[in-house]
Amino acid sequence: MTRLRNVLLAALFAPALAIAADPPVVVKFTDLSKFSDFRNSVAPGPREREGLAGILQRYLEREGAERIPPNTRLLVTITDVDMAGEFRLGSSDVRVIREIYPPRIELDFKLVRADGGTEKEGHRELRDSTFMWGSSPMSNESMRYEKELLDGWLRREFAPPKRSANANR
């Protein structure tokens, strides 16, 4: 009887344990070479694109883990990025940042519950034409406009950060 109880308990808690063992946020990218504007130079190579993808991946994994509900897992596939600003014709690796060149990110996501069911999923086209109003012109943080775009999506799509909810108690 105890063996049957243990087997049933293991089967009951297995999905929760599987989610707990996996990272709470998984970020993937489609073919980086086909992205609209994902570069820091006029002629980017694969290493440059992979480096930029790594910056967004680490940011989304860290910030997303703070915002999704407990016992869930967020799976994100970024399908396109058009970074804020543009390279001027004839310029040598100088990105011009102006309001008319807002950042844009397209992504697919799925929020999975511990039981394996889907809580929420969809495709989002993120764009912020007011991106320059909220940023400090003195900041030199890499990809700050794209990070702010992702942060806005996380705020709108999911719960406020866990640390903020407990800070006021």
Whether the pLDDT of residue 29 is over 70: the answer is yes
Q: What percent of the chain has pLDDT over 90?
A: 50
Q: What percent of the chain has pLDDT over 70?
A: 73
Kindly report, residue by residue over 101-142, the tens digit of the pLDDT: 899 999 999 999 999 999 999 999 999 988 888 665 556 778
Report whether 76 contacts 53 (CB < 8 A): no
> What pLDDT shows up at residue 40?
73
- Rounded mean pLDDT, 10-31: 72
**Cβ neighbours of 102 (radius 10 Å):** 20
Strands, sheet with 25-29, edge to edge from the N-terminal-most edge strand: 25-29, 72-82, 104-113, 118-127
Strands 95-96 and 86-87: antiparallel
> What pLDDT shows up at residue 169?
42
Reported pTM? 0.77
> What pLDDT shows up at residue 92?
61
Whether the pLDDT of residue 148 is over 60: the answer is yes
- Rounded mean pLDDT, 94-100: 81
- Each domain of the chain, given as residue ranges in start order, spans 2-167
Kindly report, residue by residue over 62-92, the tens digit of the pLDDT: 999 999 999 999 999 999 999 988 877 666 6
- Rounded mean pLDDT, 32-49: 83
Q: Which of 13-22, 43-52, 85-94 has the highest mean pLDDT?
A: 43-52
The Cα 60–Cα 135 span in angstroms is 19
Orientation angle between helical segments 144-157 and 46-67, nearest 10 degrees: 30
